[in-house]
Amino acid sequence: MPLLGLLPRRAWAALLSQLLRPPCASCTGPVRCQSQVAEAVLTSQLKAHQEKPNFIIKTPKGTRDLSPQHMVVREKILDLVISCFKRHGAKGMDTPAFELKETLTEKYGEDSGLMYDLKDQGGELLSLRYDLTVPFARYLAMNKVKKMKRYHVGKVWRRESPAIVQGRYREFCQCDFDIAGQFDPMIPDAECLKIMCEILSGLQLGDFLIKMAWKDVRHEMVAKKGLAPEVADRIGDYVQCHGGVSLVEQMFQDPRLSQNKQALEGLGDLKLLFEYLTLFGIADKISFDLSLARGLDYYTGVIYEAVLLQTPIQAGEDPLNVGSVAAGGRYDGLVGMFHPKGHKVPCVGLSIGVERIFYIVEQRMKNKGEKVRTTETQVFVATPQKNFLQERLKLIAELWDSGIKAEMLYKNNPKLLTQLHYCESTGIPLVVIIGEQELKEGVIKIRSVASREEVAIKRENLVAEIQKRLSES
């Protein structure tokens, strides 16, 4: 029987004992029915699986579970990031977790080898998405969209050696903001840099600096403006000094540059960008950097990367070395790679390195011993007496229906002290108490967990009183 050949040797004894048992009621001879054989095979396979001695319960390398405490931190950070994107007029969108392999190949240069390829499914070769930018470009080309301001928060996958101690994973979350379309020079670029500054300032991670890669600025001047390489290198001499607005002004006054038409055009774009950055109040956060280099092949213009500046280590803190926490740039040619006629849609965008930010925030909270509330429960419904489950259920339903976040213990007759201890340990601010006396008088007691003060109010005024207290806290 072919089915029996699938069994390991250690399962044979169990299978034979199953087959030698008396036949079922529908069998009339010594041959077992198909249902008995199938049942015996499945039972033996299950036992063989349960007997594996070396099975280790763990998450795959480069991934992790997120506890309720982790999720509280993560959601607060994501809320801040997304609210900033929305404040700048971005629309939310999503794309599949996997794409056709040919969609992703040749877009990432040397990093293409880090994609996770999936097995052939229904005649399609697929890969998990490596970032959120290439799928966005595919979406624009496929739907013939010429202008769009969007944000996207989602998981991506990269088959690289994980360094979890630095917040690097094989599966991680990205938060992207992109502006697609033909617009006047440097306005969208300046807004992307402004968004990056707003988010990093809002997260209160400490001082940061956004570096712009001189290599890409030089390429743009030479390739697009026709600037002679030796003139571009002259500008590079200035860039080695680092700087922003003052550096651009200094280059304008150099006679070898100011008398060159192409150099003036290139410097004009830089000056325009820094004028906008000055109006946005962030010019002092931007600096050129000769050493900056991004690995992705689709960037076509200026790229930038935000790094946290080293701050003095507080007592008991470990030094945090997480690299860049945000990056972005211009990729004007990517959409054209997907368009059948090669029509280009200029794009510029940024990505917030939220996994590294999560790591920094979690480490700081750990060092400070900060506790995290894992629920947002506002009110706990309690009783000091037995046989009050029905009254508690009616009361908590009234709170839920009024939009109040409420909890109760899933016991018929819980002890009052147990209920109050639960509120203190989980940080629930208010307790409403109902018992025989309260029911007889038509009132409900409201207890402040922090001060332990109690006050009785009329039952019909309960919701209004709770809402008032919550609004004042």
pLDDT in tens, 338-392: 988 878 999 999 999 898 899 888 888 888 888 889 999 999 999 999 999 999 9
> Buried b vs exposed e over 132-143: b needs ≥16 C-beta within 10 Å?
bbbbbbbbbbee
**Position 398, amino acid:** E
Q: Are 309 and 206 in contact (CB under 8 A)?
A: yes
Strand-pairing partners, residue 329, are: 303, 349
More confident residue, 28 or 133: 133
Strand-pairing partners, residue 381, are: 432
Please give the pLDDT value at position 4: 45
CA 435/CA 417 separation, integer angstroms = 14
- Identify the H or E element spanning 145: none
Mean pLDDT, rounded, for 141-155: 96
Q: Are 37 and 19 in contact (CB under 8 A)?
A: yes
Mean pLDDT, rounded, for 121-145: 93
Q: Between β-strands 406-407 and 379-382, what pairing exists: parallel, antiparallel or unpaired? A: parallel
Mean pLDDT, rounded, for 180-196: 96
pLDDT in tens, 269-282: 888 888 999 999 99
Q: What is the DSSP letter of 405?
A: -
Radius of gyration of the chain (CA): 32
Long-range CB contacts for residues 105-108, cutoff 8 Å, separation at least 24: 106/297, 107/134, 107/296, 107/297, 107/298, 107/334, 107/337, 108/134, 108/295, 108/296, 108/297, 108/298
Answering whether pTM is above 0.95, one says no
Q: What is the DSSP letter of 459?
A: G
Q: What is the DSSP letter of 121?
A: B
Strand-pairing partners, residue 99, are: 127
- E strand intervals along 339-442: 347-352, 379-382, 406-407, 430-433
Whether the per-residue pLDDT at 165 is higher than 60: the answer is no
CA 393/CA 399 separation, integer angstroms = 10
Whether the per-residue pLDDT at 256 is higher than 80: the answer is no
| Backbone CA torsion sign across 87, 88, 92, 97 | negative
Mean pLDDT, rounded, for 288-294: 61
Q: Are 420 and 382 in contact (CB under 8 A)?
A: yes
Query: Which of 49-53, 99-103, 105-109, 419-423 bottoms out in mean pLDDT, i.e. has the lowest?
Result: 49-53
Q: Are 256 and 228 in contact (CB under 8 A)?
A: no
The band of 315, judged by pLDDT with boundaries at 50, 70 and 90, is: very low
- E strand intervals along 109-219: 126-128, 148-157, 171-180, 208-213
